[in-house]
Every structure is written in structure tokens, then in C-alpha cells.
Amino acid sequence: MKTRQQAVQEEIDRIKKEIVSLGHIHPGSLSMQKRARGGEYWHLSYSHAGKGHTEYIRKNDVSVVQGELNNHKRFRELVSEWIGLEIELSKIRRKNRGRSHMKAGKSS
């Protein structure tokens, strides 16, 4: 039977593999904007290194950019999950070390 520590480590390994398989990522949001004089265009806005950025996106690039944005969203979800699991794993390891020190102390 697997220990909780083994199960957590396996889940971390799964997350790492999924992150590697995501492909290209890009932060931000994509929106359709309307010009005052008529017509529409796609607008990408994002923050990176503490600065805001905006770009015009060609209509034929929208699906690629949207895929990158979706990948980035999934990346952030996975990293958040990974961090939570690493915190749990750290607590388990500390608890196990405490138990081993207590056993060593009792046998003296």
C-alpha cells in the first residue's frame, strides 16, 4: 500500500509531466475591440516583469494566441497545485523526521 508521501510525490511527478507537455504559453487576455469609425480588431493585454503590455492581434492569429492563453491558464493552475503538494510533502517529511528522532531518543 502506498504511503501518503508516495502518493503526493506521484502527483507532483504527474504535474511536472503535464507542464512540460503544455506547449507554448502566453499570459494575458484577448478581447475584440470596436473602432469608433467602425470595424473591429483583436487586442491582447498582459503584464510581464511588472509592466503592462498591449498588442494588436491579426484575425488569423487569434486561435493560436487563444491556445497559448489557455495553456498559460492551465500552467498557473498546475503550479498552484504543485506548490500546495510541495507544502504538504514538506510537512510529511518534517513529521517523519520528528518521529525518527523520537524513536532514536527513546532507545537510548
**H/E element, 23:** none
Q: What is the pLDDT of residues 9-53, one digit of tens each?
A: 999 999 999 999 999 999 999 999 999 999 999 999 999 999 999
Q: What is the pLDDT of residues 53-92, one digit of tens each?
A: 999 999 999 999 999 999 999 999 999 999 999 999 999 9
The pTM for the full model equals 0.83
| Cβ 28 vs Cβ 69: under 8 Å | yes
Say whether pLDDT at 102 is over 90. Answer: no
Phi/psi for 102 (5° steps) reads: -65, -40
